[in-house]
Amino acid sequence: MNLLENKTYQIIGKVESINTGAHFSNTTIVTVEQEHINIKLNDEQVPLIKLGQVYAFTAVAVVRYEDDLVLRLDRIDPVEKVLNEKELEKVLKHFYVYAPLPVSDIKTGIESYLKIIKNPVLADITNTIYKENQKMFYMHPAATKFHHAYVGGLSFHTLTMLKLIDPFIEVYPYLDRDLLYAGTILHDMSKLTEISGVDGEYTKEGLLVGHLVMQALDIEVVAKSLGYQDREETLLLKHMILAHHGQYHFGSPKKPQTGEALLLWYIDTIDSKFSVLGDILAETKAGQFTGPVQVLDKMKFYKSKK
């Protein structure tokens, strides 16, 4: 990269390394063009940068004492704040594995379910939370490893679960369709703050509180702002979120005590297990067993020759 003294550069890149010492701090990033660039940091800027994350860097070319030009960080922004959805998707595809469906298709699918929630309480709460989070919702992973741990994994996981609901209701018509749609769309929404992003880690809030409790609290706040805090739908929706890991030892504060909460746990489990199994079987030769599958009790699965 050819630098001009005192010129400001706008660079989007993924953090490859962060180096600190007694008298220096810097980060090396890789750009969309696969150019590796070193940017100097001050001590206050180091905590703002996380390894493996993509940022929009604003840096100024300055003369170092050896008379060569270096880039000094002036500002750092989350990349999703400076790019629109199409630009963001295009950029992130250079750095990360993406969901198997285009983001636009996932969004169309999820919003088709969102639009047909008839209950006004559930519709208002779900739409409010969705609109507050929709941009990052379509970029975020569903986990740091194993199931859907890629860009768009969270929304793709949500859409897959939504597709499983109607067949169950055909067999068990006593289940509340609106409650299932709302609970499914919102069940993992707080992973946006529980996990720092693709290639990221669990945040402090994520480790100390967790996305089930975080999302139930969010529903409580939004319901109160809409005047729905005392409605039964709000209570049932919060229960679904708090119970969707099913068992205490899976991190669930409550066990499912409604049919909708029970089904949410089951379809969440189905997709998280079968998606991983599908990925592993795709890399397994016909007529052979997989290696131990972590999310399935380390069992080995056979891939038929058909």
CA distance 219 to 236: 11
- Residue 301: how many CB atoms within 10 A of its CB? 14
**Residue 293 C-beta-side C-alpha neighbours within 13 Å:** 21
User: In the prediction, which pLDDT does 271 show?
Assistant: 93
By CB atoms closer than 10 A (0-12, 13-18, 19+), residue 174 is exposed
Residue 302 carries which DSSP code? B
User: In the prediction, which pLDDT does 126 show?
Assistant: 98
User: In the prediction, which pLDDT does 3 show?
Assistant: 83
CA distance 238 to 218: 9
Tens place of pLDDT for every residue, the chain, 306 residues?
Answer: 788 888 999 999 999 899 988 888 999 999 988 899 999 998 889 988 888 888 999 999 988 756 678 898 999 998 888 888 788 878 877 877 777 788 889 999 999 999 999 999 999 999 999 999 988 888 776 554 444 556 778 899 999 999 999 999 999 999 999 999 999 999 999 998 888 766 567 888 989 999 999 999 999 999 999 999 999 999 999 999 999 999 998 889 999 999 999 999 999 999 999 988 998 999 999 999 999 998 899 999 999 987
User: In the prediction, which pLDDT does 147 show?
Assistant: 47
User: In the prediction, which pLDDT does 89 show?
Assistant: 77
User: In the prediction, which pLDDT does 198 show?
Assistant: 60
The listed CATH number (2.40.50.140, 3.20.20.60, 3.40.630.30, 1.20.120.160) that belongs to domain 8-81:
2.40.50.140
For residue 12 the two structure tokens come to 């989007």
**Maximum pairwise Cα distance, the chain:** 76
Give the Cα-Cα-Cα angle 84, 142, 186 (nearest 5 degrees).
Answer: 80
Sign of the Cα torsion 188, 189, 195, 198 reads positive
User: Global pTM?
Assistant: 0.76
Domain spans of the chain, in order of start:
8-81, 96-282
* DSSP helix/strand/coil, 276: helix
